[in-house]
């Protein structure tokens, strides 16, 4: 029997280094997969702004000023007795749109939802423009609060309607 004995010398340091590099390589591949997978949903955040009044407004145009980097941007809300007719940005300077590129698309998205729903309930916005949308929504809410009839005004209108019906 002629068997040749082979002796393998393993250095523990080399085994440890190889194991560490293998684990780091696997973690790196997992990180790349997680980073470059497409996101499933664009709209993740739902605003919890609610309007507690029945749509009863004093007809007119109401504005709220927003100060952004020493520039004043006004949000103008036009309402009639029962509807929100339009919401628009006034005095929107090119410098503001350059410094805040999400302000116009976020505003248009919010305005469309509010006019369609005729309410501030269930307004959604994307995570990308969360804070911009919150600031704009607060300004719109402030403008609408100016237009909302108070309970005493609503009661006065109801009494006036009842008196006019009684006279006829």
Cα separation, 131 vs 148, in Å, equals: 25
Q: Is the torsion defined by CA of 62, 67, 70, 74 positive or negative?
A: negative
- Report CA-CA distances (Å) from 33 to 21, 24, 144: 18, 14, 46
Instruction: Band the pLDDT of 27: cuts 50, 70, 90.
Output: very high
Dihedral Cα 120, 121, 127, 130, nearest 10 deg: 30
pLDDT digits (tens, 9 = 90+) for 93-128: 888 888 888 888 999 999 999 889 888 888 888 888
What is the rounded CA–CA span in Å between residue 119 and residue 52? Answer: 10
Residues 6+ apart with CB under 8 A from 73: 65, 66, 67, 89, 90, 91, 92, 93, 96, 103
Distance CA 75, CA 57 (A): 17
pLDDT of residue 29: 95
In angstroms and rounded to an integer, the radius of gyration of the C-alpha atoms of the chain is: 31
d(CA 63, CA 78): 9
The pTM (predicted TM-score) of the whole model is: 0.59
Position 47 confidence tier, pLDDT thresholds 50, 70, 90: very low
Angstrom distance (rounded) from CA 86 to CA 100: 23
Q: b or e along 118-147 (b: 16 or more beta carbons within 10 Å of the residue's beta carbon)?
A: ebbeebebbeebeebbeebbebbbbbbeeb
- At residue 1, does pLDDT exceed 70? no
User: What is the crossing angle of helices 103-117 and 130-147, to 10°?
Assistant: 50
| Neighbouring-strand partners of residue 32 | none
């Amino acid at each position: 029997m002629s068997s040749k004995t082979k002796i393998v010398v393993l250095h523990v340091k080399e085994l440890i280094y190889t194991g560490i590099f293998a684990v780091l390589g696997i973690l790196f591949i997992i990180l790349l997969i997680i980073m470059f997978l497409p996101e499933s949903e664009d709209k993740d955040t739902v605003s919890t702004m609610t309007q507690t009044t029945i749509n009863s407004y004093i007809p007119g145009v109401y504005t709220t000023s927003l100060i952004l980097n020493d520039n004043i941007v006004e949000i103008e809300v036009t309402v009639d007795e029962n509807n929100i007719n339009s919401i628009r940005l006034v005095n929107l300077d090119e410098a503001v749109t350059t410094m805040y590129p999400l302000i116009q698309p976020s505003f248009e998205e919010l305005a469309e939802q509010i006019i369609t729903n005729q309410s501030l309930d269930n307004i959604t916005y994307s995570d990308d423009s969360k804070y911009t949308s919150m600031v704009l929504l607060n300004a719109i809410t402030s403008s609408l609060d100016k237009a909302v009839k108070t309970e005493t005004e609503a009661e006065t209108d109801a009494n006036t309607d009842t008196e006019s019906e009684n006279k006829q």
